[in-house]
Amino acid sequence: MMNGKKVLFSGMQATGNLTLGNYLGALKNWVTLNEEYECFYSVVDMHSITVRQDPATLRKRARKLLTIYIAAGLDPEKNCIYYQSHVSGHAELMWILNCFTYMGELNRMTQFKDKAAKHADNINAGLFTYPVLMAADILLYQTDVVPVGIDQMQHLEITRDIAERFNNLYGDVFTIPEAYVGKVGAKIMSLQDPTKKMSKSDENPNASIYLMDDADTVARKCRRAVTDSEGVILYRDEQPGVKNLLSIYCACTGKQPEDAVREFDGQGYGALKDAVAETVNAVLQPLQAEVARIEQDKAWLDSIIKNNAEKAQYFANKTLRKVQKKVGFPERPR
């Protein structure tokens, strides 16, 4: 508990550009969570360097990501939105947790196996211990809940295992985190392969709508979206492409699928695609305007970044000092 609320922590990588799927499926739904939870949203730049990055690009993308979070409605006075690399406690706790994590456990991580296969020329130790840094992120703030996708579930499990192992040795030091199961957002699929989730790491740029896409690009991508040869607009699994377009339409307008189906009754796929593009643009244009506005106000954004890093550091240090004491590090003279 923190300030009388449970703690929610989420980390996000600034690699790749955020998609409409990230927004409709996650971000948009987080705006009101701070009423119930003390929320931490960390741009995990330390995780990003486990694969090679161009420094200038990483810095730019990380700032953009942070800006998008704020533009999407996460009030930075009420949500702690900060860079992981600005809070030294993450690395410090990670070292300690490394000593309570087994090689065998890390060897079982499927994401490590996937990434090692993908970056065979750079299988570095950071890639291997990536889940331990993630455990440090979460445990540092005595997190109760973590909104994670299925791909990160294994990392949350190992976080719980490490925390329980530590608690068994030293008493109740860490809160054991759970997956956040709240209101789930819309599941948006790839426009080119509607059986796959829309992903910011998809190599085909036509598969995803990026939050920063301009109106013409959105219209073009919608028009090129893969559908089928049924020729009817119904919301059903047999027509994954059409279903996805309807899902996007509904998530953007707040309409129910039945109502959307009725609305498009007798119309062709072209009309549906145009309508989807229009509603997507009605969501993205104000968001992009807000991003631009925030970017202009450099001094304000810098002050937010500084204040939130200090706030995060304050809570991180509380946990860190406790942990350091437990493992036998000498107390710091005041």
Provide the binding-site residues for ligand TRP, judged by CB under 6 A: 9-13, 44, 47, 134, 137-138, 146, 148, 152
281-308 in b/e form (b: 16+ CB < 10 A) is: bebbeebbebbeebeeeeeebeebbeeb
Instruction: State the catalytic residue, choosing from 64, 197, 221, 243.
Output: 197
H/E stretch holding 178: strand 178-179
CB of 17 or CB of 281, closer to ligand TRP? 17
- How many angstroms separate the CA atoms of 143 and 149, rounded? 17
Q: What angle do CA 144, 149, 150 make, to 5 degrees?
A: 110
- How many angstroms separate the CA atoms of 227 and 224, rounded? 9
CB of 195 or CB of 201, closer to ligand TRP? 201
CB of 142 or CB of 152, closer to ligand TRP? 152
Specify whether 318 is catalytic. no
Specify whether 6 is catalytic. no
Q: Which residue is nearest to ligand TRP (CB)?
A: 11
* Residue 237: CB minimum distance to ligand TRP, A: 27
Per the CB < 8 A criterion, the answer to whether 292 and 67 are in contact is no
CB of 138 or CB of 277, closer to ligand TRP? 138
* Residue 43: CB minimum distance to ligand TRP, A: 10
Q: Where are the alpha helices (DSSP H) in 26-124?
A: 45-48, 55-71, 89-98, 103-107, 110-118
| CB under 8 A, 24+ apart: contacts of 198-201 | 198/19, 198/20, 198/21, 199/19, 199/21, 200/15, 200/16, 200/17, 200/18, 200/19, 200/22, 201/15, 201/16
* Residue 308: CB minimum distance to ligand TRP, A: 16
Could you give the 3-state DSSP secondary structure of residue 146?
strand
Could you give the 3-state DSSP secondary structure of residue 97?
helix
Specify whether 197 is catalytic. yes
CB of 112 or CB of 235, closer to ligand TRP? 112
* Residue 207: CB minimum distance to ligand TRP, A: 19
Instruction: State the catalytic residue, choosing from 5, 6, 200, 318.
Output: 200
Could you give the 3-state DSSP secondary structure of residue 187?
coil
CB of 133 or CB of 250, closer to ligand TRP? 133
* Residue 146: CB minimum distance to ligand TRP, A: 5
* Residue 26: CB minimum distance to ligand TRP, A: 10
- How many angstroms separate the CA atoms of 6 and 23, rounded? 24
- How many angstroms separate the CA atoms of 88 and 86, rounded? 6
- How many angstroms separate the CA atoms of 39 and 55, rounded? 28
Residues carrying an active site annotation: 115, 197, 200
